[in-house]
Amino acid sequence: MSGFELLLREETPQVLSALVRHYGHFDLAEEAVQEALLAAAQQWPEEGVPDNPRGWLIRVGSRRLTDLLRSESARRKREENAASLAAPEEFFAAGPEIDDPGGQDDTLTLLFLCCHPALSAASQIALTLRAVGGLTTAQIAAAFLVPESTMAQRISRAKRSIKQAGSSFEMPPEAERDARMGAVLHVLYLIFNEGYTASSGTDLHSAELTTEAIRLVRGVRRLLPDDGEVAGLLALMLLTDARRPARTDADGGLVPLAEQDRSRWNKAAIEEGEALVTDALSRTQLGPYQVQAAIAAVHATAERAEDTDWPQIVALYQVLEQISDNPMVRLNHAVAVSMATGPKEALELLEPLDSDHRMTDHHRLEAVRAHLLEMSGDLDGARESYLLAARRTTSIPERNYLRSKADRLGPS
């Protein structure tokens, strides 16, 4: 991403908020901002960046929005064929010159709106990337491997759903704040994951999503410096993303944590992530992102895989299991137990997961079982589980990895 593109992305939520505050009509304002961004991308490289980029974008955006509102009201008039309906003059009363609200930052309000509970996760993600992240529909479509028209529909549908839900551009009421904040952080986490799981080389577009997610969480953290979960999520992303240079080999194959070349990990990201989570744990209310970040920090700060402090990781998973009921946590807990104590105890932890409907058909349960069976010396059982896991996954790199594990155990 060029510095120029970064500037536009940073300004996106500010410009959109200014327009929505002034004119209302989130859906059309969002459209207008995209057009202003496009105009900037075309004009600035030739004419130079204006002295006040935000002012420029707001001016161009509000001119465009005024046009959109005019044609909208003309259309409505035609449709209703009712001359008695006055044009909503208040939309235009202030003219296209509106001020930058200055110190007020409405990015959070925007995020709450984009991550509205009436929307599916896929829609929340798409709308957040466009309205808050300033990405174009084409960029988002490329990252999610769908046609641009499909993504355009998804975004306009999301905006319609928000309108129908009667949501306004305001912070959610205090009583809903925590749950809504949880949804916002979850969407940012999903954006990160989408980028992180994309294997490098085959899909560079998606990999950029990790950078975007980190940038967005940094923005939220600037506004909420005392929120431990925001800090925890940022730390988790930094500590995970630090491994990116080492997590795939030259062919795009997955390299497991224990075999990664740790000298290739991003040290600056690890230091920042570790400092963030240490600070959050010492002074804010405990939450699942902080605990996950703490676990990632234990991994990140072990010089060699064999130096990993597994008993500490087990203890952290016990904490995590108490605050979040999630079978995946239990699964990872079992892996940690196998390293700290042994595979037998870990296999016992898997037993309740066999009947957990959330884990039915899940390849990860089988992959972990295979790993534990291999550790315990049951090579036939391990091979069988690796092959079953390979058949169950829908990820090509994971399938290749699991098959190679089975192959290494010899022919069946």
Residues that bind another protein (CB under 8 A): 120-123, 126, 144-147, 150-158, 194, 196-199, 202-203, 206, 243, 247, 252, 254-257, 260, 367, 371, 393-399, 401
- Alpha-carbon span 379 to 395, nearest angstrom: 24
Q: Which residue, 153 or 284, is less far from another protein as judged by CB?
A: 153
Looking at residue 135, the DSSP 8-state letter turns out to be -
Give the sign of the dihedral formed by CA 276, CA 281, CA 284, CA 287: positive
* The two structure tokens encoding residue 163: 């309108």
Smallest distance from another protein to CB 158, Å: 8
Assess contact for 57 and 33: CB atoms under 8 A. yes
Smallest distance from another protein to CB 355, Å: 19
Q: Which residue, 275 or 305, is less far from another protein as judged by CB?
A: 305
Smallest distance from another protein to CB 150, Å: 5
* Local structure of 173: helix, strand or coil: coil
- Alpha-carbon span 6 to 158, nearest angstrom: 25
Q: Which residue, 71 or 395, is less far from another protein as judged by CB?
A: 395
Q: Which residue, 320 or 402, is less far from another protein as judged by CB?
A: 402
Smallest distance from another protein to CB 360, Å: 11
Task: Match 């295979």 to its residue by tokens.
Answer: 370
Amino acid at 237: M
Looking at residue 254, the DSSP 8-state letter turns out to be B
Smallest distance from another protein to CB 119, Å: 11
Smallest distance from another protein to CB 401, Å: 7
Q: Which residue, 66 or 240, is less far from another protein as judged by CB?
A: 240
* The two structure tokens encoding residue 86: 């006055």
CB contact set of 390 (below 8 Å; sequence gap of 6+): 363, 398, 399, 402, 403, 406
- Alpha-carbon span 338 to 347, nearest angstrom: 8
Q: Which residue, 206 or 292, is less far from another protein as judged by CB?
A: 206
* Local structure of 248: helix, strand or coil: strand
